[in-house]
Amino acid sequence: MIKNYLKIAWRNIRKQKFYSFINILGLTIGMTCCFLIFMYVRFELSYDSFHKNKDRIYRVVTDVKTPTELIEADITSAPMGPNIKADFPEVVSSVRINQSNTLVAIGNNKYDEDKMVYADATFFDVFSFPLIRGNAKEALTAPFTAVLTESNAKRYFGSEDPIGKTFQIDGGKATIKVTGLMKDVPENSHLPFDMVLSLATAEAMGQNLTESWGNFGMLTYLLLTPGTDPAKLEKKLPAFMESHIGSTMKGNNMYYTLHLEPLKDVYMTSKRNAPVKGSMTNIYIFSIVAILILLIAVINFVNLATARATERAREVGVRKSVGAYESQLTFQFLCETMLLSLFAFVLSVALSQLLLPPFNLLAGKEIAYNIFSTGAIVWFLLIAISVGLLAGIYPALVLSSYKPVVVLKGAFSSSNKGLFLRRGLVVFQFVITIVLIVGVMIVYYQLLYLQGRDLGFKKEQQLVVEFGGVNNMKERWHDIKQQVLNVQGVSGVTFSSAIPGRFQNSAYSNIEMKNGEMQASNINLYFVDYDFIKQYEIKMVAGRTFLPEMATDSTQAMLVNEAVVSSLGYNKPEEIIGKKFDQWGRKGTIIGVMKNFNYRSLKETVSPLTMRIEPEAFGPLTITVDPKNIKKVIAGVEAIYSRYVPEGRFNYFFVNDDFDRQYRGDFRFGQLVLTFAILAIFLATLGLLGLISYIVIQRTKEIGIRKVLGASVNNILLLLSTDFIKLIAIALVVATPLAWYLMYKWLQDFAYRIDMPWWVFLAAGSVAVVIALATVSIQTMKAAMTNPVKSLRTE
């Protein structure tokens, strides 16, 4: 019986090549999107699931509360982890991790190492990163020891055995011995690294890890005993903090509250930062997009199948009159859909496999190499079967419900059965399409806005060279500046500890408030030289900038931005001039207030920032260059660099490019939405094409008669298009508030955002109308141009 069904299904597929093509192509595209997004979502949700103890690992995070603000940090200070472990028996182990970077030197070879971490010896107890060589318990106990990942060991030592080998870090300040070799860190780890140095190394190099309760910078993770309730442990932590540094917190008027976060929440759901962070919003958006695209394909199928139902009606009548149950016919038609769906499934699997590499690129990470090895194929098959059922059930029920008498009498021509549904589904498709078009336009509009927005400082033509490796910077920075300034094409040079768009330090600072009390808070900090403000064209709203002729400026002066002024409760910038500060051992007065400038991504509002002069901390050198001489300048600066840092590696970048890198993820998001929008439009057009070509065939006779009666080609076009234009108008009405709401939500991610322009909705509607009109016209043209005698004779 099934054989008979399949046979007739196969013959129908072949007979109706055009419709089969539309259906299979649509379902294949829909399923492929769905499969790829499925892989992506599954990958994103799999973060950190490879740790054996994943259910017992918790991250310790800190809420820092000052009278003016609450900072939700993802880090702790160094003493917290070990003391929690010592005070609470339910904590099996604690590990502290400090992300860092350095320049590794092996003989004459230099390697940038920007994915290294310092970690306690307990690192491998808590986390499951399997060691290939070395002892997991002892590899990180001694100072100056390191564990390398396989591929990093290969990078450093080639095929030689890395165990026992040594290398130098921080420009020769320390020699490190390799004590272990580990497998590469899986891509789905929220903590990416390719080298672990023992935390004892940092201690041996002078970092205080036992008493600096107020110095934040460590990621801390706890491994709890089985059955421990983390909520109960968390409740005991305030008392723990009180007993250790209660009086200090009170004295500084700065309070720390510790919380525990399950490891599985760190990457995806936690609102705090993490070394690598996922986005639940994106997961939702992509899942919904995948389902919508698949739905468009399913709707195409349902529309075509019900519109063409009359063609199969006679078969239904005959089969019923020779004794078929309705349920058998339903089953038969479902089988046909299933066959199509499985056909599309096979194509989709092949296509997904082919598209994995570009998709990995688009997603910006290695989600998978091989679809078949991941076990996802079972899920894909389930998806394909559900699609078959979803697409097939309604047409099958409609078809099998035909009454044989009605059908076989021949009085039955075209039914309006399902017409309302069909129209509804077309509207639905256009709603999806319009929402996606609006989405793409607004995403790109917003990103262009971000790139074009005045950041409050000059980012063009600013070349940055990292001079971090210079010994005795305090003595030499003047000379370096002078020499670089002499290079032809250089019009300005300034040293600082950080540049906009890149990481900057923050410091525990006391600043005088209106009432004369000193307020402690953690404030972002740039160390700059006298030319920084001028060269970055940062505006001043009160006071003055640093001046070389003022002797005290080099140690006792501070600039603050407007955000500091308002966070300390001052009404006018002028009021803070002359107030006292105490920061990292330096005391002095505030001499000027800078206008807020966006030194971080425009996703954030400008947070408080202080600037001081501290040549020891100088690293990046910003060079304002003449765009015509860029190559010469780079060569000239490189020569100077290699004189001062012979063991270093020359690196440079431009501030504007570097700043825009922060939006790379958003551009990637925009590209993905664009891709899916194009696919959605394509699928909807395909469905429309099928539907219209069928309607035109149905109405050939009517068109012929109308032409005989004097209708022009335009009249006919109008006649057939009006219906669809109406549907699109309805779709636009439905889509506008929906798109507005969704994009409003998306824009909330940005501190600086566009007002949604009204014309975007109109434009999206117009695009839909144009596409529909074009589709209708092409099909209708053919019918409208044929000689009516021909079409009428065939009747």
The stretch among 84-92, 406-414, 524-532, 750-758 that binds another protein (CB under 8 A) is 406-414
Triad 289, 19, 335: Cα angle to 5°: 80
Q: Give min distance, CB of 686 to another protein, in A.
A: 25
| Residue 586, SS3 per DSSP | strand
* Rounded CA separation 447/441 (Å): 10
By beta-carbon proximity to another protein, the closer residue of 343 and 724 is 343
Chain-centroid distance, C-alpha 27: 28
By beta-carbon proximity to another protein, the closer residue of 343 and 599 is 343
Q: Give min distance, CB of 337 to another protein, in A.
A: 16
By beta-carbon proximity to another protein, the closer residue of 1 and 551 is 1
The stretch among 130-138, 313-321, 609-617, 776-784 that binds another protein (CB under 8 A) is 313-321
Binders of another protein among residues 581 to 610 (CB under 8 A) are: none
Question: What HEC string does 496-559 produce?
Answer: ECCCCCCCCEEEEEEEECCCCCEEEEEEEEEEECCCHHHHCCCCEEEECCCCCCCCCHHHHEEE
**Residue span 366-405 as binding mask against another protein, x where in contact by CB under 8 A, dash where not:** -------------------------------------xxx
The number of residues that bind another protein (CB under 8 A) is 26
Q: Does 314 bind another protein (CB under 8 A)?
A: yes
Q: Does 1 bind another protein (CB under 8 A)?
A: yes
| Residue 93, SS3 per DSSP | strand
* Rounded CA separation 682/433 (Å): 9
For another protein, the binding residue among 375, 410, 585, 627 (CB under 8 A) is 410
By beta-carbon proximity to another protein, the closer residue of 7 and 137 is 7
Q: Does 643 bind another protein (CB under 8 A)?
A: no
Q: Does 11 bind another protein (CB under 8 A)?
A: yes
By beta-carbon proximity to another protein, the closer residue of 334 and 716 is 334
Q: Does 317 bind another protein (CB under 8 A)?
A: yes
What's the token pair of residue 649?
Answer: 């590696």
Tell me, what DSSP letter sits at residue 455?
A: -
Find out whether 203 and 143 touch, Cβ atoms under 8 Å.
yes
* Rounded CA separation 699/788 (Å): 12
* Rounded CA separation 765/743 (Å): 16
Q: Give min distance, CB of 404 to another protein, in A.
A: 5
* Rounded CA separation 134/247 (Å): 44
By beta-carbon proximity to another protein, the closer residue of 206 and 410 is 410
Question: Strand 195-198 to strand 145-149: parallel, antiparallel, or no bridges (unpaired)?
Answer: antiparallel
The stretch among 317-325, 447-455, 496-504, 660-668 that binds another protein (CB under 8 A) is 317-325
Tell me, what DSSP letter sits at residue 334?
A: H
By beta-carbon proximity to another protein, the closer residue of 305 and 565 is 305
Q: Give min distance, CB of 444 to another protein, in A.
A: 49
**Residue span 321-360 as binding mask against another protein, x where in contact by CB under 8 A, dash where not:** xxxxxx-x--------------------------------
By beta-carbon proximity to another protein, the closer residue of 5 and 213 is 5
Q: Does 187 bind another protein (CB under 8 A)?
A: no
For another protein, the binding residue among 125, 234, 265, 315 (CB under 8 A) is 315
The stretch among 83-91, 309-317, 512-520, 664-672 that binds another protein (CB under 8 A) is 309-317
* Rounded CA separation 180/165 (Å): 10
Find out whether 426 and 303 touch, Cβ atoms under 8 Å.
yes
> 562: closest CA among 601, 530, 587, 599?
599
Q: Does 697 bind another protein (CB under 8 A)?
A: no
For residue 300, the tally of other CB atoms under 10 A from its CB is 30
- Bridge partners (DSSP) of residue 543 are 592
Residue 736's Cβ-side half-sphere holds a number of Cα atoms within 13 Å equal to: 14
Find out whether 298 and 86 touch, Cβ atoms under 8 Å.
no
Find out whether 214 and 248 touch, Cβ atoms under 8 Å.
yes
Binders of another protein among residues 15 to 44 (CB under 8 A) are: 15
Q: Give min distance, CB of 319 to another protein, in A.
A: 7
Q: Give min distance, CB of 691 to another protein, in A.
A: 23
Judged by the rule CB under 8 A, the positions of this chain that interact with another protein are: 1, 4, 7-8, 11-12, 15, 314-315, 317-326, 328, 403-405, 408-410
